[in-house]
Amino acid sequence: MLPDLTEALQRRKQENLYRTRPILEGPQAPHITIDGQNFLAFCSNDYLGLANHPALIAAATEGAQRYGVGAGASHLISGHSRAHHALEIALADYVGLARALLFSTGYMANMAVVTALVGREDTIFADRLNHASLNDAALLSRARFLRYPHLDLAALEKQLKTTQTRRKLVITDAVFSMDGDQAPIADLLALCQRFDAWLLLDDAHGFGVLDAQGRGSLYAHQEVDRTAPHLIYMATLGKAAGVSGAFVAASASVIETLIQHGRTYGYTTAAAPLLAHTLLTSLQLIKQDSWRREHLKQLITQLRQALQSLPWQLLPSNTPIQPLLVGENQQTMQLDQALRARGIWVPAIRPPTVPRGMARLRISLSAAHTEADVTQLSAALHELAGVLA
């Protein structure tokens, strides 16, 4: 068996698909040190620049002093602390839904929702560009798994109309992690209400960023009926919120079902309560510091204007995720390496994360970046366009 593994790994290297783990020295920031070299980085999901915020560091210290560093048990035994409970109440109020439930990761949250709500007698409908966690959850549920073309609501409507099963669940990213575009949430929810289906929204990349107060995708589209019982909302807390974890918000019945039947909730030790304590401070900063989102919008506009004339296509996105479509793996890696040689870190995204022939640089902007940082990146890309394109 070992020769088979070695051969498969060698093929992966030959196809420019081999991944390595860079070692980050110090905290997440626009200017970082990786493997001993300094870089201007456009690679993190720290969209609001909170991951190294002094107020969060102070809150984490206070949380450790109050609660210790480990939960010590699952939420259903004795690991559900006052900090966890307070954060769940605050998050539910913030996104305007009945109840919220904390998870250690977004992956675990999606696993819990999908597998607790549907099974062999049911059908899942999924956007073809969904995050891997949604796809894996669908497969694990053993429900019938139907995928529709990216953002194609006509195809989804046809599938919903012709499917007769006990339960129906539509699952989708709210902001797509590799393209930066957004799902038409109001139209999706209307379809789900019409065909009596649940809608699970994965807003990992919208929470904290979209809406004037950072309440995410549900508020970026004011026409969304947030009282609809069909709606289930998931967001992560390790991206714009700057810490770690995730939560699901929905009706009381859905949340209670997850507590009773969510395997990734009940069968794991709770996340450290100091993280929940820290996130209460993070939530306040997200609400109050609207300037972070305004600055981020300005950087997005600056970058898009600066990169318009490149030979590579900048995919349409008004979020911090700005994908520069290159195409083939080899040229994408050449561009990645040439930027690193100039002290700029932008991750090369290749299959299977994206479809074949759709390799790209995934530029991630943060409120911690400056206009000068964006100018430096755009100048380097224009210089390389004359060499590699």
Rg over alpha carbons for the chain, rounded to the nearest Å, is 21
pLDDT score for 216: 97
Q: Do 108 and 268 contact (CB within 8 A), yes or no?
A: yes
Rounded Cα distance between 74 and 216, Å, is 29
Sign of the alpha-carbon dihedral angle for 249, 252, 255, 257: negative
More confident residue, 18 or 244: 244
Sign of the alpha-carbon dihedral angle for 10, 346, 109, 87: positive
Residue 222 has pLDDT above 90, yes or no: no
Q: Of the residues 240, 255, 288, which one is the last residue of a structural domain?
A: 288
Judge whether 234 lies within some domain: yes
Which ranges of 211-328 does DSSP label H, i.e. alpha helix? 217-220, 252-261, 263-266, 273-288, 290-306
Structural domain boundaries enclosing 250:
54-288
pLDDT score for 221: 79
End-to-end CA distance of the chain: 41
- Same domain, yes or no, for 225 and 282? yes
Judge whether 10 lies within some domain: no
- Same domain, yes or no, for 164 and 269? yes
- Same domain, yes or no, for 150 and 273? yes
Number of domains in the chain: 2
- Same domain, yes or no, for 112 and 67? yes
Judge whether 2 lies within some domain: no
Residue 75 assigned ligand-binding role: no
* Positions marked active-site: 177, 205, 239
- Same domain, yes or no, for 218 and 307? no
Judge whether 9 lies within some domain: no
Q: Of the residues 260, 288, 316, which one is the last residue of a structural domain?
A: 288
Residue 375 assigned ligand-binding role: no
Judge whether 306 lies within some domain: yes
- Same domain, yes or no, for 313 and 203? no
- Same domain, yes or no, for 83 and 62? yes
- Same domain, yes or no, for 201 and 338? no
Q: Of the residues 259, 288, 317, which one is the last residue of a structural domain?
A: 288
Residue 165 assigned ligand-binding role: no
Q: How do residues 298-354 score in pLDDT, each as one tens digit?
A: 999 999 999 999 999 999 999 999 999 999 999 999 999 999 999 999 999 999 889
Residue 148 assigned ligand-binding role: no
Residue 63 assigned ligand-binding role: no
What CATH number is given to the structural domain containing 28? 3.90.1150.10
Judge whether 1 lies within some domain: no
Q: How do residues 158-208 score in pLDDT, each as one tens digit?
A: 999 999 999 999 999 999 999 999 999 999 999 999 999 999 999 999 999
Place of tokens 């600056």: 302
Judge whether 33 lies within some domain: yes
What CATH number is given to the structural domain containing 93? 3.40.640.10
Around Cβ 40, how many Cβ atoms within 10 Å? 20
Rounded Cα distance between 283 and 332, Å, is 37
Please choose, from the candidates 251, 245, 250, the residue with its C-alpha nearest in 3D space to the C-alpha of residue 269: 245
pLDDT score for 90: 98
- Same domain, yes or no, for 258 and 371? no
- Same domain, yes or no, for 284 and 294? no
pLDDT score for 387: 84
Mean predicted confidence (pLDDT) in 209-213: 96
Mean predicted confidence (pLDDT) in 257-266: 97
All residues at 6 or more sequence positions from 306 whose CB lies less than 8 Å from its CB, including other chains: 374, 375, 378
Sign of the alpha-carbon dihedral angle for 276, 230, 319, 130: positive
Mean pLDDT for the chain overall: 96
Helix or strand or coil: residue 32? strand
Q: How do residues 64-108 score in pLDDT, each as one tens digit?
A: 999 999 999 999 999 999 999 999 999 999 999 999 999 999 999
- Same domain, yes or no, for 159 and 175? yes
Rounded Cα distance between 334 and 127, Å, is 31
Judge whether 6 lies within some domain: no
- Same domain, yes or no, for 21 and 73? no
Residue 79 assigned ligand-binding role: no
Residue 107 assigned ligand-binding role: yes
Residue 123 assigned ligand-binding role: no
Q: Do 70 and 239 contact (CB within 8 A), yes or no?
A: no
19: left (phi over 0), alpha (psi -120 to 50) or beta: beta
